[in-house]
Chains A and B, each alone.
Chain A
Amino acid sequence: MKAVTSLQSSQRRNVAKMLLVAGIASIGCMFSANAADVYPSKPITLVVPYPAGGANDMLGRLIGQKMSEGLKQQIIIDNRPGAGTLIGATVVAKAPADGYTLLVGGFASNSVSPLLFKAEYDPIKDFEPIGMFGTAPTVLITYPNSPYKTIKDVVDAAKKKPGEVMYGSSGNGSPLHMSGEMFTSQAGVNMTHVPYKGGSAHILDLIGGRLDVIFDTSTNSTPLIKGGKVRPIAVSGPSRLPDFPNVPTFAESGYPNFAVNGWYALYAPAKTPKDITNRLSAELQKVLKMPDVIEKLRGVGVTPGTGEAPELAKYAPSELEKYRKLIKDANIKAD
């Protein structure tokens, strides 16, 4: 037993060395928690309703790390995955409104998931908006040697053989799925939706030519397009993306009302004092102006947001209504 103890303590020493900064900082913060009353006087928990890894988690960590430097307070990332973000969002909706529990919310938690599944919170009323930190436009992609060069090619093919053009998605209710539904309804065509359970299998099936197209989020497809593994057909949004100046927008191709994009925003529980949300929003706005943050967001295909609360307060309800209508019209339901 003695040998075991000494071994573990030596391992522990190594860990301690490695985590010197993190460890000491966190213990330090724990003891100084009561020292001051000025917000933030203790570490802030930032709930990410996804497992570690993936765009949402990564953005949360990036923003959290930068904000923590400005707030001079630790921000702990708390991954609460599950139920299409409902579990994590519920945690924040029910947390004390003191500004110490925040949510990396967005497309799923504040618009589509509560429409598809039974949520224990109201996606608008139970949250205090802090600010949006990015949007990710939709990019219609296909495999490199596919016959589809333009949106017109896709629509023509779908009109000629209804239901035979297949688009993949990372699951029911994902932005990829919603894009497909919106596009087929606006173009008046019938395409087959092939859902996958998250992950990357749909991309492999596209590259392998088993799927025709994917309405992908730019966060996923930007590296693949740059590496020449998939070919972009069109992008959503008001203007072309700086990374791909040769790729037309959906609007240019005749679908001005096509607008589905991933969005990422910071939320506090409802009734959080205004001075706290203002403080957080100010910090978020500062972070979103940092050149390295802008560069990193753009690097993964995210268009940086402004971080202003009123903008988010207007945007989120409009998104919710948009998808409520789409889900009703397309008769998508989970029952």
Chain B
Amino acid sequence: MDLFHNLYIGFQTALTFANLWYAFMGCVLGTLIGVLPGLGPIATIAMLLPTMYSLQPTSALIMLAGIYYGAQYGGSTTAILINVPGEASSVVTALDGYQMARKGRAGTALATSALGSFFAGTVGTLVVAAFAPALTSLAFEFGAPEYFALMFLGLIGAVVLASGSLVKALAMVVLGLLLGQINTDVQTAVPRFSFNIPELMDGINFVVIAMGVFSFGEIIANLGKSAEHREVFVKKVTGLWPTKKDFKDASPAAVRGTLLGCLLGVLPGAGPMLASFTSYAVEKKLSKHPEEFGKGAIQGVAAPEAANNAGAQTSFIPMLTLGIPTSAVMALMIGAMTIMGIQPGPTVMTSNPTLFWGLICSMWVGNFMLVILNLPLIGIWVKLLTVPYRFLFPAIMAFCAIGVYTLSNNTFDVYCAAAFAVFGFLTHKFGFEAAPLILGFILGPMMEENLRRALLMARGDWSVFVTRPISAVMLLLALVMMIVIALPSISKKRQEAFVDEE
């Protein structure tokens, strides 16, 4: 079997002492970066590049990959502990993870996230090893109409994310879409709503909005309550480890999340993020207790975390098979390869098999290390929450402020975050939810770009969205979903029917 031979080469490379060490260093560093709010893997990798030139290319790439998913792990940790989602895909984790933490179940949430991610990472690695070329062709199948349909489906899913009023959730989605319109129009290069501020020409950074709306808004709201009424975190922390029931609830969710993540992760751009949102929506729809979502449902942590991590693995596929970067981190890795004298691209697999398979196997090694590294840390993270709030919130604020500044070394982002802090507080006050806003904000520009590109390439023929099979199926799904949402009575009856059958 070719696959086994390849994996054998890969593990031979990945399991050398030096490469294990670099994978470990990458994971440690990535986790550290990830738990610092706002600091992403990109700044870290960019900063480390010079020191990497002295390493073996394989070791350097293994370490970079370690930083990449270490940072994702770390990002979920802050999302759960202090409601600071460091990247788009952990926004969903924050929804239920943070609520679990407030109920004293931070340990369980973190363990679920770690175990779910490990499972997803293992499956994801196998998928990359076995099906990379096949999944590459999936990426080719996706043109503008398909992307538009997928994102439209995602947006409808965003409404499912909300646990409160439907109209308010819709309003937040639309508001997010509008905020996403602050940018330079892709087709005509017209800067929209930029008021001649050059920083606004590229739109508002996602992290700025997430931090302002989630973290700062939450802090203001917490401080607004008088000390007696405020119990941000339950004093008593129950069980660090998931119970048998937790496992039973979380496992199927993690499996479904993994599947979604593996598929959607391949798509450049929004893949892993869409996967985590979609898997959350799926779980909420499948659950017998959808009302628990948003209040600390363990499936709401397991599914998006698994989807996110599986997507993180398969998002390597276009880079590995084509040399095409699907994210800024990959672009950096490709840059590093080039500087180290390796020609990235489709030829790497044959011309440099030890590097190619070594990198794939090290993905699994890295995921394994992260679990080993993170499970013992859980106890410490949970203790962090017992720090009095008067010490904790200035620390969150301080780290967030530095993180926002380092996004592009520009104080404009800091001012923006201040504005969104006010906005976030108001949404909190008026009973609106932030997650649909964030999804609208991220998907909006991509949706518009793909819709207009699809029309441009089809010469204005709107039927292109229904004549192409993938796009038609997704739009149909979206339609079904809309009907289900619009008629809550139907869905309720159906759920009752399910219960009766059992």
- Residues of A whose CB lies within 8 Å of any CB of B are 1, 3-4, 7, 11, 14-15, 18-19, 21-22, 51-55, 57-58, 61-62, 65, 77-84, 86-87, 90, 116-118, 120, 166, 171-173, 192, 194-197, 199-201, 203-205, 207-208, 210, 222-224, 226-229, 292, 295-296, 299-300, 332, 334-335
Option from A4, A80, A194 in Cβ contact (under 8 Å) with B457:
A194
Taking the complex as formed, is B56 at the interface, i.e. its CB lies under 8 A from any CB of chain A?
Answer: no
Which residue of B is nearest A58, CB measured?
A: B335
Taking the complex as formed, is B352 at the interface, i.e. its CB lies under 8 A from any CB of chain A?
Answer: no
Which residue of A is nearest B202, CB measured?
A: A82
**Residues of chain B contacted by A166 (CB below 8 angstroms):** 457
Chain B interface residue number, banded: 35 or more
Which residue of B is nearest A219, CB measured?
A: B338
Docked pose: A116 CA to B185 CA in angstroms: 13
Taking the complex as formed, is B190 at the interface, i.e. its CB lies under 8 A from any CB of chain A?
Answer: yes
Sorted nearest first, the 10 A-B pairs with minimum C-beta distance are A227-B346, A53-B331, A223-B345, A172-B189, A52-B46, A58-B335, A208-B140, A83-B198, A334-B189, A53-B332
Taking the complex as formed, is B463 at the interface, i.e. its CB lies under 8 A from any CB of chain A?
Answer: no
B143 touches A223 (CB 8 A): no
Option from A58, A172, A292 in Cβ contact (under 8 Å) with B186:
A172
Option from A22, A227, A332 in Cβ contact (under 8 Å) with B323:
A227
Docked pose: A334 CA to B194 CA in angstroms: 13
Taking the complex as formed, is B161 at the interface, i.e. its CB lies under 8 A from any CB of chain A?
Answer: no
Taking the complex as formed, is B377 at the interface, i.e. its CB lies under 8 A from any CB of chain A?
Answer: yes
Chain B, residues 362-392, CB within 8 Å of chain A (1/0): the string is: 0000000000000001011001100100000
Given A1-B387, A208-B142, 18 further pairs, Cβ under 8 A: A4-B383, A18-B29, A52-B42, A53-B328, A55-B335, A79-B409, A82-B408, A84-B184, A87-B198, A172-B187, A197-B449, A200-B318, A200-B326, A208-B143, A224-B346, A226-B343, A227-B346, A228-B346
Docked pose: A65 CA to B329 CA in angstroms: 20
Q: How far in angstroms is the closest Cβ of chain A from B412?
A: 9
Which residue of A is nearest B190, CB measured?
A: A334
A65 touches B53 (CB 8 A): yes
**Residues of chain A contacted by B346 (CB below 8 angstroms):** 223-224, 226-229
Option from A3, A172, A194 in Cβ contact (under 8 Å) with B456:
A194
- 28 A-B pairs (CB sep. < 8 Å): A4-B383, A19-B51, A22-B50, A51-B408, A52-B42, A53-B330, A53-B331, A53-B334, A57-B46, A57-B335, A58-B338, A80-B410, A82-B201, A87-B408, A117-B198, A171-B189, A194-B456, A194-B457, A197-B449, A200-B325, A204-B318, A204-B324, A208-B142, A222-B343, A223-B347, A229-B346, A296-B341, A335-B190
Docked pose: A77 CA to B184 CA in angstroms: 26
**Residues of chain B contacted by A295 (CB below 8 angstroms):** 341
Main secondary structure of the interface of B (DSSP, over half): helix
Known: A192-B456, A226-B343. A199 touches B380 (CB 8 A): no
Docked pose: A83 CA to B191 CA in angstroms: 9
Docked pose: A86 CA to B202 CA in angstroms: 11
**Residues of chain B contacted by A229 (CB below 8 angstroms):** 322, 345-346
**Residues of chain A contacted by B141 (CB below 8 angstroms):** 208
B199 touches A82 (CB 8 A): yes
**Residues of chain A contacted by B199 (CB below 8 angstroms):** 82-83, 87
Taking the complex as formed, is B32 at the interface, i.e. its CB lies under 8 A from any CB of chain A?
Answer: yes
| Max count, chain B CB within 10 A of own CB: residue among A21, A204, A208, A210 | A204
